[in-house]
Amino acid sequence: MYRKLYFRIWLAVVLAIAVLTLAVGTVWRMTMDPPMRHVVLRNAAGEVLGAAAMRPLAESAQSHWHSAETDPDGDKARHAQAEGEESLEHRALPVGQFGRGPEFLVQMEDGQVLHVHMPRPELRPWMGSMGYVSALCLVAFAVALGTYPVVRRLTRRLENLQKSVEAWGDGNLGVRAAVEGHDEAAFLAQRFNDAAQRLEALVQARDALLESQKSLLANASHELRSPLARLRMGLELLQGGGERDALRQELERNISELDQLIGEILLASRLDAQQADLGAVERVDLVPLCAEECAHTGARLDSVDAVVQVHGVPKLLRRAVRNLLENASRHGSATQDGAGARGVILELRAFPLESSAVVRLAVMDHGPGVPVEYQQRVFEPFYRLPGVSETGGGVGLGLALVKAIAERHGGSVRCVNNPQGGARFELTLPVGRAMAS
């Protein structure tokens, strides 16, 4: 509560009122006339006929009348009188008998004693010292109570705007803030609604464009399969020898690469479609799967665990491992160092963690490696490193498919460089997590 904006504004108003109240009370007290302590009687010529100090009230009279005639230190007014004056006090009427107000016993020059009483109106209960303080507190409380709804209404709109911004930041692009009033808060809420409306329209347009592109790729890739099949049948019927056989082999290789590209595009579009059926989720042992793919590419499998299992779609996991191995074989060095063809090594490890166990599959080569500034971009579709020609093979979709497959299985993939040289691609998969829908 103490961090809320409305409470801070309200507290500032209350403190300002309290300071103002204390200042007004202090000034009022300072400007009041001091209480009367002495009286002097003069005749018409200005000659002093007599003088006396105010008579002190008795304890009972002080309690009854609650007289305010005290000096700044709160002591009762005193006056050192002569012995004759003290005797006058004993003969005089009791103090306070005639009501509230200062009383004086004045002995005239001729010896006559006058009882001087200056009556004051009766004090109401709220006009005393404590009543004055209580009245100030009551006014301050009334003002604080009255300003609270005003401050709360102003800051409540800001809080509603804050909640709308938080919900919009969490991904709810359809949220809008309530516009109330015509002040700056209402203007800010309206501007937020306008900006949110424009951004939502842009996101919807982008999503629609992406969906149309995915649909176009999927349909085009599917339709290309038919002419490719007819080309294969034509090549099989093509007879001849010599140059014609070489031409037929070249055409078969090109058709095979085109068929692979179409297959990868189809798989990429299906991975992008969240509702696509990619196959049944099973318990997959990665050790024999990786061993088969290493034998196919000539890489070396390095695994310390006999059984490494994860939940996933077997054909997708196989495609991910195959793409990593083919990428390493294609771009790694061609040296033979006992580590398998082209020096490609596949490490397979299981790591039990406190929260969940994971499996890490790392493919290493002995090529030039990947510069740090390109280690994230290599997983973008159709991206090639600078200086890499198309004659090296591949179309730039293999690593993008690996990333998509890893994310659909709740895992991740990253690229780093080995200290000994070459690139290292690490695929991390959770052991006990089912494939993301």
SS3 letters for the chain? CCCCHHHHHHHHHHHHHHHHHHHHHHHHHHHCCCCCCEEEEECCCCCEEEEEEECCCCHHHHHHHCCCCECCCCCECCCCCCHHHHHHHHHCCCCCCCCCCCEEEEECCCCCEEEEECCCCCCCHHHCHHHHHHHHHHHHHHHHHHHHHHHHHHHHHHHHHHHHHHHHHCCCCCCCCCCCCCCHHHHHHHHHHHHHHHHHHHHHHHHHHHHHHHHHHHHHHHHHHHHHHHHHHHHHHCCCCCHHHHHHHHHHHHHHHHHHHHHHHHHHHHHHCCCCCCCCCEEEEHHHHHHHHHHHHCEEEEECCCCCEEEECHHHHHHHHHHHHHHHHHHCCCCCCCCEHHHCEEEEEEECCCCCCEEEEEEECCCCCCCHHHCCHHHCCCCCCCCCCHHHCCCCCHHHHHHHHHHHCCCEEEEEECCCCCEEEEEEEECCCCCCC
Is 66's pLDDT higher than 70? no
Give all domains of the chain, ordered by start, each with its CATH number. Answer: 5-127 (no CATH), 175-276 (1.10.287.130), 282-430 (3.30.565.10)
Is 243's pLDDT higher than 70? no
At residue 80 the predicted structure's pLDDT band, cuts being 50, 70 and 90, is: very low
Return the amino acid letter for 351. F
Query: Does 225 or 314 have the greater pLDDT score?
Result: 314
Q: Taking residues 410-424, what's their average pLDDT?
A: 90
Is 63's pLDDT higher than 50? no
pLDDT at 325: 93
Return the amino acid letter for 232. R
pLDDT tens digits, 139-189:
778 777 877 787 777 778 888 888 888 888 888 888 888 888 777 778 888
At residue 241 the predicted structure's pLDDT band, cuts being 50, 70 and 90, is: low
Q: Taking residues 295-315, what's their average pLDDT?
A: 84
Range with the lowest mean pLDDT among 16-20, 38-42, 387-391?
387-391
* Average model confidence (pLDDT) across the chain: 74
